[in-house]
Chains A and B, each alone.
Chain A
Amino acid sequence: MGATRMLLAVALLAPCAAAQSAPSIPLQSGAAQSFALPPGAFTNSYYIDVAEADQSLAIEVESSTSNVDLDLLLRYGSPIPDSVDGVAPEASYLIEYAQYFSQSPDDNERLVIGRSNRFPLRAGRWFITVLNFSNVAANATLKGELATSVPPRIPIEVVFTDTSNGCDVAPWNDASPRTPIGGNSGTTLGAQRRNAMLRAAEILGNEIRSPVLVRVQACWQDLPGDANSATLAQAGPYDLIANDRPPLRVVDGLTLAGIAPFLQRNYTVYAAAAAGKQAGTRVCGIVGFDCADSYEIIATFNTKIDTADALGDRGFYYGSTPDTCTGNCDSDFVSTAMHEMTHGLGFIGLINRDPDEGVVGAKLTRYDDAYTANVVAVTGDGVGTPFNVRRFSAISDADRGAALVSQSGLRWDGPEALVAQTNPLRTLDPPNNYPRLYAPDPVQPGSSLGHLTASGNTLMLPTIINGIRTMGLALPMARNFGWSETAAVVAAPFLPRSTIYFDPARDGHGIGFTRIVDNLYFLAFYTYDANGLPEWYVAIGPVIDGVFTPASNGNGDSLVRYKYFPNQQPRQRADAAFDGQVRLDFNQAEVSPACNDGVGRDRSSPLAVMTWSLGADLDQQWCMQTATTTAQRGNPEYTGLWNAGDADSGWGYSVLTFNGGSGNSLFSLLYYPDSNGDGRWSYIASSNFSNGQQITLKQRRGYCRTCAKPASFVDVDAGTINLTINAANGTPGNGNGATFTASYQNPPGSSFARTNAPFLLLSIID
Chain B
Amino acid sequence: MMPITRYAALAAVLVAGPVLAATAPQAEPQFHALRAPEKVVQAKPGSAPRQPAPITTRVVGTLDASGSVRMQCHEEVDAARAQWHRQHDPLAQER
Q: Could you list which residues of chain A lie within 8 angstroms of chain B, going by C-beta atoms?
A: 1-3, 5-7, 10-14, 16-25, 35, 37-47, 69, 77-79, 81-83, 85, 87-92, 103-105, 125, 131-133, 135, 164-165, 227-240, 247-250, 253-256, 258, 272, 287-290, 293, 295, 298, 305, 311-312, 314, 325, 327-331, 336, 339-340, 343, 348-350, 353-354, 357, 364, 444-447, 450-451, 462-464, 516-520, 542, 569-570, 579, 613, 618, 646, 649
Contact = CB atoms under 8 A, between A and B. Distances in A.
A312 B58 CA distance: 20
Contacts of A229: 60-63
Contacts of A104: 44
4 cross-chain pairs, A with B, having the tightest CB-CB distances, nearest first? A446-B74, A288-B44, A22-B20, A45-B29
B63 A22 contact: no
A540 to B, nearest CB: 10
A40 B85 contact: no
Contacts of B57: 234-236, 340, 343, 348, 446, 450
A91 B34 contact: yes
Given A79-B17, A343-B75, A88 B33 contact: yes
Contacts of A79: 17, 21
Interface residues of B, number: 76
B33 A464 contact: no
A3 B7 contact: no
15 contacts: A14-B2, A23-B17, A41-B34, A42-B31, A45-B29, A92-B40, A232-B71, A234-B56, A237-B55, A248-B93, A249-B91, A336-B71, A446-B57, A462-B73, A517-B7
A357 B82 CA distance: 13
B30 to A, nearest CB: 5
A40 B35 CA distance: 8
B53 A239 contact: yes
Contact of B53 (A2, A7, A237): A237
Given A232-B60, A236-B57, A250-B85, A287 B45 contact: yes
A364 B8 CA distance: 49
B24 A22 contact: yes
Contact of A254 (B2, B68, B69, B85): B85
Contacts of A445: 74, 76
Contacts of A39: 37
Interface in B38-95: 38-41, 43-48, 50-63, 66-77, 82-83, 85-86, 89-93, 95
A1 B1 contact: no
B69 A311 contact: yes
Nearest to B2: A11
A17 B67 contact: no
Nearest to B58: A234
Contacts of A14: 2
Nearest to A238: B52
A44 B30 contact: yes
A18 B12 CA distance: 11
Contacts of A464: 59, 71-73
A559 B58 CA distance: 47
B29 A43 contact: yes
A250 B89 contact: yes
Given A90-B35, A353-B75, 6 more contacts: A16-B2, A40-B34, A44-B32, A82-B30, A87-B35, A228-B62
Contacts of A447: 72-75
Contacts of A446: 57-58, 73-76
B55 to A, nearest CB: 5
A634 B2 CA distance: 32
A24 B59 contact: no
B68 A236 contact: no
B61 to A, nearest CB: 5
Contact of A131 (B25, B34, B48, B95): B34
Contact of B18 (A16, A35, A125, A231): A125
Per DSSP, are chain B's interface residues mostly helix, strand or loop, or mixed? mixed
A290 B50 CA distance: 11
A16 B6 contact: yes
A518 B44 contact: no
Contacts of A77: 18
B10 A348 contact: no
A120 to B, nearest CB: 19
B71 A17 contact: no
Given A343-B75, A464-B59, A570 B1 contact: yes
Nearest to B46: A105
A148 to B, nearest CB: 23
B75 A349 contact: yes
B55 A249 contact: no
B91 A518 contact: no
Nearest to B4: A3
A69 B41 contact: yes
Given A24-B26, A89-B34, A229-B61, A518 B11 contact: yes
Nearest to A572: B1
Contacts of B41: 69, 105, 133
B44 A340 contact: no
Given A1-B4, A25-B26, A46-B29, A253 B40 contact: no
B41 to A, nearest CB: 5
Contacts of A518: 10-11, 14-15
A314 B1 contact: no
A463 B7 contact: no
A19 B5 CA distance: 11
Given A88-B34, A90-B34, A314 B63 contact: yes
Nearest to A239: B53
A305 B60 CA distance: 11
Nearest to B20: A22
Contact of B83 (A6, A20, A35, A253): A253
A313 B62 CA distance: 13
B34 A517 contact: no
Contacts of A570: 1
A81 B12 CA distance: 13
Contact of A327 (B1, B56, B67, B90): B67
The residue in A46, A90, A446 that gathers the most chain B C-beta atoms within 10 A of its C-beta is A446
B14 A248 contact: no
A231 B71 CA distance: 9
A364 B77 contact: yes
Contacts of B44: 69, 103-105, 288
B34 A462 contact: no
B57 to A, nearest CB: 4
Contacts of A314: 61, 63, 67-69
A414 B38 CA distance: 44
A47 B21 contact: yes
A232 B32 contact: no
A285 to B, nearest CB: 11
A249 B61 CA distance: 37
A18 B25 CA distance: 21
Contacts of B85: 250, 253-254
Contacts of A250: 85-86, 89-91
B34 A232 contact: no
A752 to B, nearest CB: 20
Contacts of B29: 25, 35, 43, 45-46
